[in-house]
Amino acid sequence: MTTLPSEAVTTAELAPATFEPLLDTVELAVLAEGADPGWTLSELPGGLRMLSVEAPGAAVEIRLSVPLGDAAGYWHPKAGWHRTLLADWEGRSAVSLIDGLAAGCLYDHTGATLLTFAAADPAPEVVLRYGVSEENDTHVVHLRLSPSDTPHRFLLAPRSPSVASALRPLRAWYEARTATPMPVPEAARLPLYCTWYAFNQAVDEAAVERQAGLAAGMGFGTLIVDDGWQRLGSGRGYAGVGDWTPDPAKFPDFTAHVERVRRMGLRYLVWVAPLLLGPRADCHAAWARFAPAPAGAPGAYVLDPRHPEVRAHVVRTCLRLVRDHGLDGLKADFLDEAMVYAGDGRGDLGHALTLLLAELREALLAERPDLLLELRQPYVGPGMAPFGNMLRSYDCPADATANRVRTLDTSFLAVGGAVHSDPLLWDTSGPVEAAARQLAGAFHAVPQVSVRLDALTAEQARAVRFWLAQWRRLRPQLLDGTTEPGRPDGLYTLVRAESEGVRVLTVHDDRTVPVRPATHRETVLVNATAGDRLAVDVEDGGGPVDIEVHGPDGRIIERIRRSLGPGLHGLRVPRTGLAVLTRPGDAT
């Protein structure tokens, strides 16, 4: 009979366990509280393996161990900036349906993977410990799971040339088994204008309609009115949330306002945080007993979704908003605040949230089959595929690097929905390169923008139109093509996306850029570096190409025909500009 070990400084200090070979050089040990667990490893189509651990009614710990070899970094959905190797006394994570995923990928200095795993069932809460075991010269991952009457199942991918290629079959596995992913309307795959960074909570009817009119003419398809539209929505903090009714001083007739914006050609969403309850809300007295814990969002408390009354209340509230005001959808924020109740012994949050989101989906899609519902990191994992169709990067105002990294991290295991950037913010009095750099950083996701469009310089306005037009033209490659961003610890400074004979390369630092002009009918080079030249390495036979070079605002700077033979070549492309290389006779 096993007793699971208590916490120790390093994993080497834990009670020993018997390890067995699992896959490649990965070894496995399984412990169960008061039980003798059993495990099997089966082969799945596409080369994946399924690890199944059985210990009915017992808490379980799964230990994975890999020799260090030439390990360079460890990626997981909540890695943030910690994507190099951590010591096992430092690596910690707790995940659930609305907070990441029990998944990870250890890779070496070539980018090739040494260990890739992911929970087949994303809803249950899992506590992970991971890192380099200094005593054993290994990288370990320990997963602690609550008792279950069904087997604990984990997917394992064999060694692959890159993290992206290792995770691709896992994503395909999730896609094939998500019976009812939320439909993804065309509007979820169009550039989006958001009011948050542009206005914060100082929104009103006139300001929104002014921006909406400009956005519709620039290539946007959807509008989100963020925090501040609701009554008591002024001042940072959330002490007034919970009633979710429009502020009559800002929006005298909210329903008529929504219809005016929709007639401009934009879909209309509003921000809502349905699990937050503030003490100033009219409904606070009625619901306070269901929200005992304070939220991380200042001033508010968190409704506990394990209560059926709370779930019914959230569904009624969201349905009322969509129905009463003719909305196209909602931006559902702060769902991860429910994790404040994780591990309190009163029930699994993943199960409760699955019930809540399933009920919400059914009610909203019955009202509007083309509903848009935005989810935000960290609750954008494959388990959320039935419940949202816009998967947004976590907040990173004005940070093009973070937007690039977070959108690509999300896309690795995104199922069904379209991955969106955090709304782009830049200095409207600054140079045009400031705008173009933000747009280039979000190029491999659906771009959201949040600046005052009527404050843009003429050059910045041209840049927005140009980059959104290019993004729309290249959407088959950027959203649906095969993407290879490189090593996670390198922060994806060269991103390749291709399909249908077109390759898009976004370059963010000084390096040689591999091109195959004889192979691809079109190659698009986005120069997001600080220099005005790109060094390209022709990897195939090369040949003549027509080159069209654009500046940051889209103006054509040069059109030339040039012969590119195998090897290195320099191309003049201005910083935050773009070059299109086409084979003679192939239309751009």
CA distance 101 to 123: 8
Among 406, 490, 402, 410, residue whose Cα is nearest residue 73 = 490
Question: What pLDDT, on a 0 to 100 scale, did the predictor assign at position 587?
Answer: 56
- The pTM of this model reads 0.95
What are the φ/ψ torsions at residue 65 (nearest 5 degrees)?
-140, 135
Q: Place 1 in a pLDDT band, splitting at 50, 70 and 90.
A: very low
Question: What pLDDT, on a 0 to 100 scale, did the predictor assign at position 20?
Answer: 96
Contacts of 407 (CB under 8 A, 6+ apart): 393, 419, 420, 421, 442, 444, 445
CA distance 496 to 508: 12
pLDDT at 2 over 70: no
Domain definitions of the chain by residue range: 11-177, 186-392, 482-582
pLDDT at 588 over 50: no
Among 524, 523, 491, 493, residue whose Cα is nearest residue 510 = 493
The string of pLDDT tens digits covering residues 451-484 is: 999 999 999 999 999 999 999 999 999 999 999 9
Q: How far is CA 364 from CA 275, 368, 420, in A?
A: 17, 6, 21
What is the β-pairing status of strands 126-133 and 91-95? antiparallel
DSSP assignment string, 96-121: BTTB--SEEEEEETTS-EEEEEEESS
Question: Would you identify the CATH topology of the domain 186-392?
Answer: TIM Barrel (3.20.20)
Among 258, 285, 287, residue whose Cα is nearest residue 275 = 287
- Paired tokens of 377: 């990191």
3-state secondary structure at position 296 = coil
pLDDT at 179 over 80: no
Question: What pLDDT, on a 0 to 100 scale, did the predictor assign at position 452?
Answer: 98
What is the β-pairing status of strands 20-23 and 26-32? antiparallel
The alpha helices in 111-243, defined as continuous H runs, are 163-177, 196-199, 205-218
CA distance 345 to 341: 9
% of residues, the chain, pLDDT over 90: 91
The string of pLDDT tens digits covering residues 377-397 is: 999 999 999 999 999 999 999
3-state secondary structure at position 432 = helix
Write the DSSP symbol of residue 423. P
The string of pLDDT tens digits covering residues 37-94 is: 999 999 998 899 999 999 998 999 999 999 999 999 999 999 999 999 999 999 999 9
Contact between 513 and 494 (Cβ < 8 Å): yes
